[in-house]
Amino acid sequence: MGVSWLWREFKKDGARWPNLITEIRLVVGFLPGILYLCNHDRYSWQQLTATFLFVLLASTDKLDGYVARRTDNVTPFGAWLDQFADKVLIVVALVCLSFVHPWVWGVTVIIATREVYVLYLRHRSASDGIGDLAVQQGGKVKTVAQCVMIGVLIFFLPAASGSLQQMLVVLAVSAAILLTIASGYDYHATFSEAKRAHRQA
């Protein structure tokens, strides 16, 4: 999958209704992080709008897929674009949070490393003739946990030491990191098993 494939598929399927929804989500996905960078003071209109937009975009993740299935417009480009929009929403928000709260860089690096590694596994799987690695259930749960974590971080940071807000932040971050690592290992195990089966075939 290269730039030429993306451009060809965009010209062919980019104007389909489900993909237009995803493209809007992709563009608007930059706004929560940018608004938070502009003003992250608690209850400022930028911080509240960033929280609202992030929660809205995260909760409508399945909307484009639902429309695609109902209108019989499911395409490989649409499936790829949907996953890409999710990653942009999460990574941009995390990077912007990291500039304001440097400790978040650790979380950002873990999540970004997992995404790059899974992308590498999918590329290896396709190039070795093993086939595409299907999205694992753990990957979907991981995405939900990451979105919950980011929503908590945008709304509750900075959290006073020992407060309920700090407890929620710690729980959300811990759950997201554990599920991110577990999901990455799940993809690694799936790839290793598929590669072993391919060699024996």
Residue 153: per-residue pLDDT: 95
Helix, strand, coil % over all residues of the chain, rounded to 5? 80, 0, 20
Residue 94: per-residue pLDDT: 96
Can you list the residues of the chain whose pLDDT is less than 50? 3, 5-7, 9-11, 14
Structure tokens, 56: 């809205």
Structure tokens, 127: 């190039």
Q: Which residues neighbour 58 within 8 Å (Cβ) at sequence distance 6 or greater?
A: 89, 147, 150, 151
Structure tokens, 13: 């399927």
Separation of alpha carbons 148 and 171, rounded Å: 11
Residue 11: per-residue pLDDT: 46
Query: What 3-state class would DSSP assign to 97?
Result: helix
Query: What 3-state class would DSSP assign to 161?
Result: coil
How many other C-beta atoms can be found within 10 angstroms of the C-beta atom of residue 8? 12
Residue 138: per-residue pLDDT: 75
Q: For residue range 105-154, what is the model confidence (pLDDT) as tens digits?
A: 999 999 999 988 988 887 777 777 776 666 667 778 999 999 999 999 99
